[in-house]
């Protein structure tokens, strides 16, 4: 119930391509879904986040698509760049609770130059 | 831009020893968290702290763990008697009253228990 499943585990994309990372959750009480980017040796940094009252949110080259009925959400990175090479984590939290994050297992993205 | 800081960046300790990991959350943030990430695995919630008390803790956060906000700026995680399986990266995070759903993470402390 508390799990967030993330796929793929790793992803290789050509420069300029689209990177797509998917997450699924079970607990319908989750109502805040952030994506974090983590570079080696660094802490996770917030990339973009969405609430279930919208189906899509776009910030620059990053877009979250949200499917409430399927309990799935995905991150799309358009025009992927080598500098995007990092590990991406999706997360979910309940804003009615303590706001703790349940993280997905992470996706290691490598963008080839 | 304000950021969460953590010290030390690396800590090596012997099994059974006590360690204290320190965090300075972003000023005026009121919600504080500790997470850990075992090498190659996902980030896991340990504990949340608000209004000078624990608001939630995970199954991982047993009696060997404690948290404290000793002076209004630092937020510490103490592991009383470290085990080999405590080896991990420990992240502190904080969030403001307004926009509390967004957590800001520190760079982490890599703990190695020998």
Region B70-89: mean pLDDT is: 94
| Structure-token pair, residue A82 | 């080598």
Is B24 in contact with B4 (CB distance < 8 Å)? Answer: yes
Residue A68 at interface with chain B, using a CB cutoff of 8 Å: no
Give the pLDDT of residue B73: 86
The answer to whether residue B85 scores a pLDDT higher than 90 is: yes
CB contact under 8 A, A49 and B102: yes
Residue B106 at interface with chain A, using a CB cutoff of 8 Å: yes
DSSP string, A8-54: -SEEEEETTS-EEEEEEE--TT--BEEEEEE-TTS--EEEEEE-TT-
Give the pLDDT of residue A1: 65
Give the pLDDT of residue A67: 95
Is B49 in contact with B75 (CB distance < 8 Å)? Answer: yes
**DSSP structure class, residue B28:** T
* A34-64 confidence digits (pLDDT tens): 999 999 888 899 999 999 999 999 999 999 9
| Structure-token pair, residue A41 | 């040796």
| Structure-token pair, residue B69 | 């906000």
Strand, coil or helix: what is A82? helix
**% of chain A beyond a pLDDT of 70:** 99
Beta strands A86-92 and A33-38, pairing class: antiparallel
Beta strands A33-38 and A102-103, pairing class: unpaired
**% of chain B beyond a pLDDT of 90:** 83
Residue A43 at interface with chain B, using a CB cutoff of 8 Å: yes
- Predicted confidence band at B97 (pLDDT cuts at 50, 70, 90)? confident
What span, in angstroms and rounded, lies between the C-alpha atoms of A82 and A56?
Answer: 25
Report the residue from A45, A97, A103 with minimal CB separation from B42. A103
Of B104, B71, B86, B97, nearest to B37 by C-alpha is B86
What span, in angstroms and rounded, lies between the C-alpha atoms of A20 and A7?
Answer: 9
């Amino acid at each position: 119930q508390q799990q967030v499943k993330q796929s793929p585990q790793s992803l290789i994309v050509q420069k300029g391509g689209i990177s797509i990372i998917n997450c699924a959750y079970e607990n319908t009480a989750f109502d805040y879904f952030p994506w974090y980017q983590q570079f080696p040796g660094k802490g996770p940094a917030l990339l973009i986040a969405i609430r279930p009252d919208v189906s899509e949110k776009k910030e620059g080259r990053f877009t979250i698509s949200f499917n409430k009925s399927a309990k799935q959400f995905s991150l799309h990175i358009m025009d992927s760049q080598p500098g995007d090479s990092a590990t991406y984590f999706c997360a979910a939290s309940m804003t009615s609770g303590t706001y703790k994050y349940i993280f997905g297992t992470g996706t290691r993205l490598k963008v080839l130059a | 831009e304000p950021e969460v800081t953590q010290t030390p960046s690396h800590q090596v300790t012997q099994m059974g020893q006590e360690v204290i990991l320190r965090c300075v959350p972003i000023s005026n943030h009121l919600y504080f968290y500790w997470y850990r990430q075992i090498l190659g695995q996902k980030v896991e919630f340990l504990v949340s702290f608000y209004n000078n008390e624990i608001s939630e803790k995970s199954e991982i956060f047993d009696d060997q763990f404690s948290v404290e906000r000793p002076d209004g700026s630092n937020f510490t995680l103490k592991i009383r008697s470290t085990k080999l399986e405590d080896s991990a990266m420990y992240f502190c995070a904080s969030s403001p009253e307004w926009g509390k759903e967004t957590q800001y993470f520190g760079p982490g402390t890599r703990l190695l228990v020998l």
